[in-house]
Amino acid sequence: MTTLAVVGVTGAVGRTMVSLLGERGFPADRVRLIASARSAGTSLDTWLGEIEVEDLARVDPRGVDIALFSAGGDTSREHAARFVDAGAVVIDNSSAFRMEPEVPLVVVDVNDQAAGEHRGIIANPNCTTMTLMMAAAPLHETAGLVSMVATSYQSVSGSGQQGVTELLDQTEHFAGDVDSLMRGGWHEPGLTVYPRPIGFNVIPFAGDDAEAGYTSEELKLVHESRKILDLPDLAVEPTCVRVPTLVGHGVVATLRFERRVGADEAVSVLVSAPGVSLWKDRVPTPLDSAGTDEVLVGRVRETIGEPGGINLWAVGDNLRKGAALNAVQIAELLV
């Protein structure tokens, strides 16, 4: 018998986890739904029926085999060890444990074997890194990746519901004075989540200030890629951009390898890569990625400034493969 818990179940990713577990027929005999005290006592519909939400601060984790955590880094750091000590394997969606040496950082269909090396906790990568790895890893296995230049185009849902609300509010704000957007003189909307307006705009700054002018999101792209691919010396040049889309993180990447790779070879590798949908005749966009499990890859072409590498575009639903789906897939590996 398998007992599975979803911690942070009332958030967007937590709810998506429950939905995916049902869609995929996860073989759990019992499911426990856990959230903060303000959600405790409410009920959610699941594939196993209606289940009452438990209070994380008071929950007894004994009997839980697998716990999917999606409640933020502070919550994971505070509570994950309790579940591990009680015998559970924690699959954590936050950044709390990703760079801990003893914690595997797993992208299913990329480094599945790492899941078996856990000591009670397995980390889910950042959603942008996840999208890029689905395209880059198969090519690395073929030709040996040496360097990446990666620019992300990240949707506002990556900032949670408050990011979505800010975009919708600002879109309405600016829509009332379109002329000012084209000629200047626009009025600043309320800024809560982002440092600059996101409505009708892009912000070449995602995450928090980190070091040397780079953001936390950009450094995640560097360090997590190296860990997932087991390439500690991989050269990564990252830029992370927030864009006014609701769902779907896209990445433009220039990949260079130990040997020359042509477009035909790259296409033949990607067309058969698990978890990837290669688009040849149309350009995949964030709108196309919404609600899909696969990472969509397109615009595969050879580099022209310095021949021998590959340029490509990859986009994935950051709430599904970028977060909830990968966690569920890791749980499936454990079962």
206 near 242, Cβ under 8 Å? yes
211 shares its domain with 239: yes
Over residues 152-165, the mean pLDDT reads 95
Residue 97 within any structural domain of the chain: yes
pLDDT value of position 116:
94
Going by their DSSP bridges, the two strands 145-154 and 249-257 should be labelled as: antiparallel
- Residues 93, 218 share a domain: no
Identify whether 197 is part of a domain: no
Q: What is the pLDDT of residue 301?
A: 98
Q: Which residues contact 33 (CB under 8 A, 6 or more apart)?
A: 5, 6, 9, 18, 44, 46, 51, 52, 53, 54
Residues 47 and 112 in one domain: yes
On whether both 141 and 58 belong to a single domain, the answer is no
Q: Are residues 7 and 101 in the same domain?
A: yes
140 and 261 co-located in one domain: yes
What residues act catalytically? 127, 249
Average pLDDT over the chain reads: 96
| Residue 73 in domain | yes
Q: Within this chain, do residues 260 and 117 fall inside the same structural domain, yes or no? A: no
Asked if residues 207 and 216 have their Cβ atoms less than 8 Å apart, the reply is yes
Average pLDDT over residues 236-243: 98
Residue 18 sits in the same domain as residue 103: yes
pLDDT digits (tens, 9 = 90+) for 298-307: 999 999 999 9
Number of domains in the chain: 2
Claim to verify: residue 314 and residue 330 sit in the same structural domain:
no
pLDDT for position 224: 98
Burial of 48 (0-12, 13-18, 19+ CB in 10 A): middle
What's the confidence (pLDDT) of residue 12? 85
Distances (CA, A) of 18 to 8, 157, 328: 11, 18, 9
Banded model confidence at residue 35, pLDDT cuts 50, 70, 90? very high
Residue 163 counted as domain residue: no
Question: pTM of this prediction?
Answer: 0.94
pLDDT at residue 52, as a whole number: 96
pLDDT band at 278 (very low <50, low <70, confident <90, very high): very high
285 and 328 in a single domain? The answer is no
Query: Do residues 254 and 297 both lie within one domain?
Result: yes
Residue 18 banded pLDDT, cuts 50, 70, 90? very high
Does one domain contain both 70 and 134? no
Residue 17 sits in a domain of what CATH number?
Answer: 3.40.50.720
Q: For the residues 227-232, what does the mean pLDDT come to?
A: 98
Per the document, the length of the chain is 335
Q: Which two tokens stand for residue 248?
A: 């779907």
Q: Does residue 189 lie within any of the structural domains?
A: no
Would you state the pLDDT for residue 76? 97
pLDDT bin (cut points 50, 70, 90) of residue 143 is very high
171 lies in some domain: no
pLDDT > 90 in the chain, percent: 95
- Domain containing 36 equals 3-125+324-334
Task: Supply the CATH number for residue 271's domain.
Answer: 3.30.360.10
What average pLDDT does range 187-194 have in this prediction? 94
Q: Given a cut of 90, is residue 316 above it in pLDDT? A: yes
Domain contains 191? no
Q: 232 in a domain, yes or no?
A: yes
